[in-house]
Amino acid sequence: METEEPQGGKIVRYPSGGEATGYLLDQAQEIIKAIMPSISEKRLKKTVEVAIEDLLRLGLVGGSL
């Protein structure tokens, strides 16, 4: 089954065969967001804490946008 290109987005596909690569650009991300389970604030906080610990362990001590 071929998923249609969403308006305002793009499903990136391999040139040979047209199989989806897994990259979803712009509004195409809404396809996944619509079916993703929600995450609790507690779980999100723990996930961020673990990520920060990993970054510190790898030597990243600061950053900016």
The residue assigned the tokens 């389970």 is: 37
The 8-class DSSP code of residue 36 comes to S
* pLDDT score of 3: 82
CA distances from 5 to 2, 10, 21, 25, 30 (A): 9, 6, 14, 10, 12
- Per-residue pLDDT for the chain (65 aa), expressed as one digit of tens each? 678 888 999 999 999 988 999 999 999 999 999 999 999 999 999 999 999 999 999 999 887 76
Q: How far is CA 18 from CA 6, 10, 30, 48, 59, in A?
A: 16, 13, 20, 36, 40
pLDDT value of position 61: 86
Whole-structure pTM value: 0.56
